[in-house]
């Protein structure tokens, strides 16, 4: 936890100067605590290994994660039982902006930004209490403008009018340029998102059909298109975990069958491992399965290499 988050009280701020983002806990057993996001990936849940550990029975062990992508932060549901909510909307993944409410189980966090000057002095902080002070500033500006108008003579008023006209012309041109850039960027982001969604669907279909390495290929392709994409990283990590879990299951069954002298059944389990890893023959688990099959063939009186685990794969090519 110390590496990825800095735990402070709500109104405390980091001592070092800089711009920080934090999650302020508003409810539950963690109420009043502020978690300054120091790492690029922060896991929230009940697990002892979570960066933000919750005392919340409705939270999963690894419920959600907050990740930094470029200059933005994203909230992602890690397949939790009760889901993740941002501003009253249930999400799978969504970017966070200042003031957003992130709900995990029964625990509510506020996503906030704080700027700290030297010696720990806060120079800007996103708090709800700052509203009244901010609302006074436009009023003060209006008072100054109206007071100044009465002091200008006719020539000064003319100069002010011309200046304001020039400013408006510049602002209009600048706004058009900014709008055009935003539209182009939004269009590029939309096209990228559409490509990623297609790749995600292909990868998830391969994962459901237990074609793990095809799924891994798809999610790696997504990361080439969008480096650091947290959703692609999540799918890739989960795919590898599912592959490892299935191989461990086949290995355990093969060992049990061999101990029970069920050599043929043990060979079948080792063949399942070889079929899962046939595209990566240098994987130590693939080599171990071949070695175990050769030893079982010897016990059964077969010739070494007589078992053809990949016959089905070659027949379908």
Q: Partners of 94 in the beta sheet?
A: 75
User: How far, in Å, are 128, 174, 186, 196 from residue 182 at the CA level?
Assistant: 29, 12, 6, 21
pLDDT in tens, 296-308: 989 899 888 888 8
Residues 6+ apart with CB under 8 A from 73: 21, 37, 66, 67, 95, 96, 111
* Predicted TM-score of the model (pTM): 0.41
Q: Is the dihedral of CA 279, 284, 288, 289 positive or negative?
A: negative
Q: Closest Cα partner for 297 from 273, 268, 276, 277?
A: 268
Cβ atoms of residues 93 and 74 within 8 Å: yes
Q: Tens-digit pLDDT profile for the chain (317 aa)?
A: 457 899 988 778 888 888 899 999 998 888 889 999 999 999 999 999 999 999 998 999 999 999 998 889 999 999 998 899 999 899 999 999 999 999 999 999 999 998 888 655 555 555 444 444 444 555 555 555 555 555 545 555 555 455 555 545 545 555 665 566 566 666 667 888 888 889 989 999 998 988 898 899 999 998 888 888 888 899 999 999 999 999 999 999 999 999 999 999 999 999 999 988 888 889 999 999 999 999 998 989 988 888 888 775 554 44
Count other C-beta atoms under 10 Å from residue 150's C-beta.
6
Please tell me whether residue 246 adopts helix, strand or coil conformation: helix
Which DSSP string do the residues of 141-158 spell out, in sequence order? Answer: HHHHHHHHHTT--HHHHH
Residue 55 to residue 104: CA distance in whole angstroms = 11
**Mean pLDDT of all residues belonging to the chain:** 81
Count other C-beta atoms under 10 Å from residue 214's C-beta.
16
Q: Closest Cα partner for 266 from 289, 240, 232?
A: 289
User: How far, in Å, are 7, 89, 259 from residue 130 at the CA level?
Assistant: 23, 26, 71
């Amino acid at each position: 936890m110390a590496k990825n988050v800095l735990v402070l009280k709500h109104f405390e701020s980091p001592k070092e100067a800089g711009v920080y983002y934090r999650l302020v806990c508003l409810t539950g057993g963690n109420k009043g605590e502020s978690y300054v996001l120091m790492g690029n990936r922060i896991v929230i849940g009940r697990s002892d290994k979570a960066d933000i550990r919750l005392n919340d029975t409705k939270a999963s062990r690894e419920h959600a994660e907050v990740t930094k992508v470029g200059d933005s932060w994203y909230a992602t549901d890690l397949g939790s039982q009760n889901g993740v909510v941002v501003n009253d909307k249930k999400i799978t993944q969504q970017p966070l902006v200042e003031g957003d409410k992130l709900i995990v189980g029964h625990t509510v966090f506020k996503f906030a930004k704080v700027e700290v000057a030297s010696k720990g002095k806060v120079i800007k902080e996103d708090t709800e209490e700052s509203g009244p002070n901010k609302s006074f500033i436009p009023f003060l500006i209006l008072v100054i403008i109206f007071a100044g108008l009465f002091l200008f003579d006719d020539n000064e008023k003319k100069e002010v009018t011309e200046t304001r006209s020039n400013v408006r012309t510049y602002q209009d041109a600048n706004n058009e340029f900014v709008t055009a850039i935003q539209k182009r960027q939004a269009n590029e982001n939309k096209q990228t998102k559409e490509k990623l969604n297609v790749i995600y669907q292909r990868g998830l279909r391969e994962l459901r059909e237990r074609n793990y390495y095809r799924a891994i290929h798809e999610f790696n392709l997504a990361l080439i298109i969008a480096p650091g994409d947290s959703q692609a990283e999540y799918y890739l990590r989960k795919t590898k975990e599912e592959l490892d879990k299935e191989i461990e299951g086949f290995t355990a069954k093969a060992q049990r069958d061999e101990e029970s002298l069920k050599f043929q059944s043990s060979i079948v389990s080792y063949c399942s491992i070889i079929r899962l890893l046939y595209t990566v023959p240098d994987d130590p688990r693939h080599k171990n399965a071949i070695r175990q099959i050769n030893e079982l063939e010897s016990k059964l009186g077969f010739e070494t290499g007589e078992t053809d685990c990949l016959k089905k794969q070659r027949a379908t090519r």
